[in-house]
């Protein structure tokens, strides 16, 4: 029973979600909305589990002085400071939710904004910007004209990168731009569609296997 009940629930809810797409009636819509309303609630409880997991792993690291335990202090500081500032106003008054009557509260808390604007934004922007450096080094290592197909790929990439270059004059510049647009609209779209169709069928087949209980490994069978 312990194993059968989850499979039964998966079948009922999975089948309902598939059929609901074809039933516009308000009854089906109401049940659908009920289900999607439950999701955030589950998410909130799971978030508590997540925070507990992160805290436990970090505290253990500090307590037992495991390798690089100092980083765990920053993890815990970041986690709890942001939560604290999110619930307090500028005078350290505690509020459960934001309201227009209280100034500098929640995400408007000056300390929250300070950490957001001067720590989070630059760190996140820097992390994403690293991508440019990695793309450069990866293309230097891997972008080789090994055979005909690889050469075509290389030429297409060069055209896309050169499409707004001013060094070749207007005529060549315009042709490069037009070719780049064609590459995006025709070969790129064709290839994307083919992969998307394969992925789409794979998604449906996997979802069907899950709903019918054929695919069970995700429940921890190993």
Partner 1 sequence: MQQKHFWRFVIGLALMTMATALGQSEADPPVSDTLAVADTAAISVPAPLPVTNLIARDKPNDRGYGISLSWDLSPDDTGGTQSVLGYRIMRSTTPDGPWDSINVAGSGDALYDHIGPRHEGDSGYFPDHTDMYYRVDVLTADPGVAVSSGVVGPVQSRGQWFNTARTVVFLFMIAFCGLVIWFVTHARRGKDLYVRPLAGIEAVDEAVGRATEMGKPILYLCGLGDAAEVPTIASFTILGRVAKRVAEYQTQIIVPCRDPIVMTVAQEVVKTAYSDAGRPDSYNPDSVFFLTIEQFAYVAGVNGIMLRDKPATNVYMGKFYAESLIFAETGTMAGSIQIAGTDEIPQIPFFFVACDYTLIGEELYAASAYLSREPVLLGSLKAQDYAKAAIIVFAILGFLATNVSALGGPEWLAGFVDLFQVRE
Partner 2 sequence: MKATFEKLMLLDRRWVFLALAVVGVASYSLKDFQVPILVTNESRQIFAAIDELEEGATIFLSIDYDPNSLAELHPMTYAIMEHAFRRGVRIVITSLSTNGPGMADEAIRAIADSVRIDREYNGVMYPGREVVNGVDYAFLGYKPYPAIVILAMGQDFRIPFPADYYGTPLEELPLMENVRNLSSTECVIVITGTNIADMWLAYGQARQGFPLAFGLTGVSTAQYYPYLNSGQLFGLLGGMLGAAEYEQLADNPGLALDGMRVQLFLHWTIIIFIVIGNVGFFVTRKRRGAGGNV
Contacting partner 2 within 65-94 (CB under 8 A)? none
What secondary structure letter does DSSP report for 157?
H
Its sign, for the CA torsion 141, 145, 149, 155, is positive
- 204 HSE (CA, 13 A, CB side): 6
Cβ of residue 97: shortest distance to partner 1, in angstroms?
Answer: 20
What pairs with residue 94 in β-bridges?
88
156 touches partner 2 by CB under 8 A: no
Q: What does the H/E/C string look like for 25-58?
A: CHHHHHHHHHHHHHHHHHHHHHHHHHHHHHHHHH
Query: x/- contact string, 26-65, with partner 2 (CB under 8 A)?
Result: ----------xx-xx--x----------------------
Task: Enumerate residues 176-215 that contact partner 2 by CB under 8 A.
Answer: 177, 181, 184-185, 188-189, 192-193, 196
Distance CA 30, CA 27 (A): 5
Its sign, for the CA torsion 189, 195, 197, 199, is negative
Query: Which of partner 1, partner 2, none does residue 150 bind to, with CB < 5 to 8 Å depending on kind?
Result: none
154 touches partner 2 by CB under 8 A: yes
Count the neighbouring beta carbons within 10 Å of the beta carbon of residue 51.
13
Q: Which is nearer to partner 1, 97 or 141 (CB)?
A: 141
Query: Which of partner 1, partner 2, none does residue 140 bind to, with CB < 5 to 8 Å depending on kind?
Result: partner 2
Count the neighbouring beta carbons within 10 Å of the beta carbon of residue 112.
23
Task: Enumerate residues 117-136 that contact partner 2 by CB under 8 A.
Answer: 117, 120-122, 124-125, 127-129, 131-133, 135-136
Q: Which is nearer to partner 2, 191 or 212 (CB)?
A: 191
Number of residues that bind partner 2 (CB under 8 A): 53
- Burial code (b: 16+ CB inside 10 Å, e: under 16) for 196-221 equals eeeeeeeeeeeeeebbeeeeeeeeee
Query: Which of partner 2, partner 1, none does residue 219 bind to, with CB < 5 to 8 Å depending on kind?
Result: partner 1
Residues that bind partner 2 (CB under 8 A): 36-37, 39-40, 43, 98-101, 107, 116-117, 120-122, 124-125, 127-129, 131-133, 135-137, 139-141, 143-146, 154, 158, 161-166, 170, 173-174, 177, 181, 184-185, 188-189, 192-193, 196
């Amino acid at each position: 029973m312990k194993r059968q009940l989850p499979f039964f629930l998966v079948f009922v809810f999975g089948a309902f979600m598939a059929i609901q797409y074809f039933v516009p009636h308000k009854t089906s819509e109401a049940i659908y909305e009920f289900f999607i309303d439950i999701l955030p609630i589950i998410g909130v409880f799971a978030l508590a589990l997540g925070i507990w997991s992160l805290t436990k792993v970090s505290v253990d690291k500090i307590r037992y002085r495991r390798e690089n335990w100092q980083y765990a202090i920053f993890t815990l500081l970041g986690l709890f400071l942001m939560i604290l500032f999110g619930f307090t106003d500028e005078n350290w008054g505690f509020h459960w939710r934001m309201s227009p009557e209280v100034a500098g509260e929640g995400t408007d808390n000056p300390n929250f904004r300070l950490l957001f604007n001067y720590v989070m934004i630059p760190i996140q922007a820097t992390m994403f910007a690293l991508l440019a450096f990695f793309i450069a080094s990866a293309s230097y290592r891997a972008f080789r004209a090994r055979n005909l197909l690889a050469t075509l790929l290389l030429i297409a990439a060069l055209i896309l990168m050169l499409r707004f270059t001013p060094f070749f004059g207007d005529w060549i510049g315009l042709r490069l731009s037009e070719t780049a647009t064609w590459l995006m609209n025709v070969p790129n779209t064709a290839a994307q569609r083919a992969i998307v169709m394969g992925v789409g069928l794979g998604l449906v087949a996997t979802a069907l296997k899950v709903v019918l209980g054929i695919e069970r490994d995700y429940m921890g069978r190993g």
